[in-house]
Amino acid sequence: MTQTKYDKAVSVCFSGHRNIPFLYRKQLKLQLKAAITKAYAGGYRHFYCGCAMGFDMLAAEVALALQSELSGLQVIAVVPYRGQSERWNDAMKARYDTILCNSDDVIILSEHYYHGCLLRRNDYMVFHSSSLIA
């Protein structure tokens, strides 16, 4: 794995389900806000998001929204391959693009899709984090 400029000791990554039923999204956002705020209070400052549909994107959106309240909180988008959102619908593409545009850093692991690139993204985030919010 490559080294990064972010301190692993104060880095967290997100992982969760891809399909979040609409009925649960509001409650999940509240739980994410509480978990991110707790991690921040514990000294964590860097939050890695894998930019997958579902939990990852929801977590990134909550973390980005908290930046105005939590000074120094950084969101790092980890993209498995350039063009990840090419086959998504327009609404999901717009959310994805907003996350990438507002993230403090975007790490693109590959120029092209290949078998195993999504697992490589997961490994990258876990290797560079000392905590997980799932």
pLDDT digits (tens, 9 = 90+) for 56-76: 999 999 999 999 999 999 999
The top-level CATH class assigned to 8-133 is alpha beta
Percent of the chain residues past pLDDT 90, beyond the cut: 89
pTM of the model: 0.93
Q: How sure is the predictor about 21, in pLDDT bands with cuts at 50, 70 and 90?
A: confident
Q: List the one residue out of 53, 32, 43, 36 whose CA is nearest residue 8.
A: 43
Handedness of CA 38, 129, 16, 101 (dihedral sign): positive
Q: List the one residue out of 50, 51, 64, 55 whose CA is nearest residue 21.
A: 55
Q: List the one residue out of 108, 39, 30 whose CA is nearest residue 72.
A: 39
Cα→Cα distances 32→2, 48, 60, 63, 114, Å: 28, 14, 10, 8, 31
Identity of the residue numbered 56: D
The dihedrals phi and psi of 58, each to the nearest 5 degrees, come to: -60, -45
Identity of the residue numbered 97: D
Q: What is the pLDDT of residue 3?
A: 55
Residue 20 above 60 pLDDT? yes
